[in-house]
Amino acid sequence: MAIQVTGVVDAVANELRAAVFDGELAPGSLVTEAWAAERFEVARSSAKAAIEKLVAEGLLQRTPHRSARVRPLDEASVRDIYRTRRRIEAEALRELAAERRVPSAAREANDEIARHLGGSSIDIVDPDMRFHTEMVDAIGSERTSRAYHALVAEVRMCMAQVQGRRLIPVDQILDEHRRIVELVAAGDGEGAVALLAEHLGRAEERLAAAIS
């Protein structure tokens, strides 16, 4: 199943990333090179490289000669993240609607969400993000995807920080996704964009309220 073992550094970076997303590493908590080196049993230089990678990704923040810490997101950040998300995704929807094209991977992500109907919203963060990511990736712009993936990582940090408080119910998310898919398939780009704006706007408000 293609578990790429590229190297120690990437493995540590992945573990750290997962720890941040799981909320195991709370926002603001210190991540020293020595701590990471000991925890994952690697050399300090390797831990350093992994930390620097996450700093570049925006998950950790650091100033010279000081330990990295898990980046805490404030309301302004949430608003900026969602503003940018809306812009990118709106363009993607317009482009997809123009060709009446809905990537099958996005539909499958929705099916996965459907399987969690009645469950907790936290459990669908994964397929939810995948739905949106697939829509953006479908337009085939490497640069746009790169930017969007970075945003998704930050959204997941928000989720971790908020710890499931005030999330939107699963059935509502699923319903809105499906309506967006229908509008795109029908070629109604502006309709899809309007609905998307509501969809993301609601999430933004919840997160902004929960985070402050």
Partner DNA sequence: TCAGTAGACTTGTCGGACAATCTGCGAAGG
Partner DNA sequence: CCTTCGCAGATTGTCCGACAAGTCTACTGA
Q: Interface residues with its own copies (CB under 8 A)?
A: 6-7, 45, 49, 52-53, 56, 64, 77, 80-81, 83-84, 87, 91, 141-144, 146-147, 150-151, 154
Return d(Cα 185, Cα 179) in angstroms, integer.
10
Residues in the interface with DNA (CB under 7 A) total 21
Least separation in angstroms between residue 152's CB and its own copies is 11
67-86 burial by CB neighbour count: b if 16+ within 10 A, else e? Answer: ebbbbebeeebbeebbeebb
Least separation in angstroms between residue 41's CB and DNA is 7
**DSSP summary character for residue 115:** T
Site string for DNA, 5-24 (x = CB under 7 A): --xxxx--------------
Q: Strand pairing partners for 68? A: 31
Q: Which of 43, 56, 117, 209 binds DNA (CB under 7 A)?
A: 43
Structure tokens at 191: 């309709």
**DSSP summary character for residue 169:** P
Question: Residues in the site for DNA, rule: CB under 7 A?
Answer: 7-10, 32-34, 41-46, 48-49, 62, 64-68
